[in-house]
Amino acid sequence: MEQQFIIQPQGDTLTILQGKTADPVKPQKLKIEGRIDAPRLYLSKKLKQNAIATGEDGGFGVPWDGSGPEVDINKWQEPSLEETVIIINEDTNTINLRLNPNHPNGTIIIGKLELNPDLVAFGIALDASSKYTSYNRESLYNLIRWNKRFFKDELKANELMAALKKLDVKATIETSVSSDNRANRASLLDKKVDAKGIPDSITLSMPIYDGEGSYDFPVEICIDTMEGYVKFWLESPYCAQLIDTTKLEIFTRETKDFEDFVVVWE
């Protein structure tokens, strides 16, 4: 059936506009990934904002439960005792805050605990089977030169650099007769290193995890002359211990205020 409209203008001019309305904008899912403290900080801030808006107390210990005067808020970004779920996984070092897990647009805040990239750059061996970085004299010198700020005593870094410059590598060639009955002779290169002035260990001062406080820890300097050249590498059992202990402290700190919410440990 043809539709008919009756227009009654109220004035001397009648303006009729024809066109297409704007396409509806669908709500977008909010997913934020940050440092390990991101879920706690987000939750704390939202609870305080809601407390101000509703005129009620808020913050950890007294979570906002959705009651109180109606306010203009995004329901998919607001925490509530009935819907908010916090998932903790120590294997992946993550805390996953899901504010409305049953809704496709429910907000997700993920906090991840990551090793300090400056620490990783040193390539330190943390146990007998872990990967580490091998250095020659020049590369170790450059590592120290560009990272002196992480030495507890910068003077020690300068002394180590000077010792590396003076490192004396002596090569002697020994000749031995092979036993293949062909009188073939093989030259064996034996390198001996005079490591005088190079300390057994250094002390670094830096955060273990990204965004956290600094720790002092010793790092051993290891030297080997195998494979026909002199190589260095760094080892630190104490740093390995710090990685475990500080991780436990951080997760304890970040999760202690979640007791009023549903918390799932994976």
Ordered by start, the domain boundaries in the chain are 31-64+73-112+250-265, 117-235
262-265: strand order across its sheet: 31-35, 108-112, 94-98, 85-89, 262-265
- Per-residue pLDDT tens over the stretch 37-89: 999 999 888 877 766 656 555 544 444 454 544 444 456 677 778 889 999 99
**Of 144, 150, 195, nearest in space to 170 by CA:** 195
pTM higher than 0.75: no
pLDDT interval class at 5 (50, 70, 90) = low
**Of 195, 124, 126, 128, nearest in space to 166 by CA:** 195
CA 151/CA 201 separation, integer angstroms: 11
Contact 161, 144 (CB under 8 A): yes
- Per-residue pLDDT tens over the stretch 83-123: 899 999 999 999 999 988 888 888 999 999 999 999 999 99
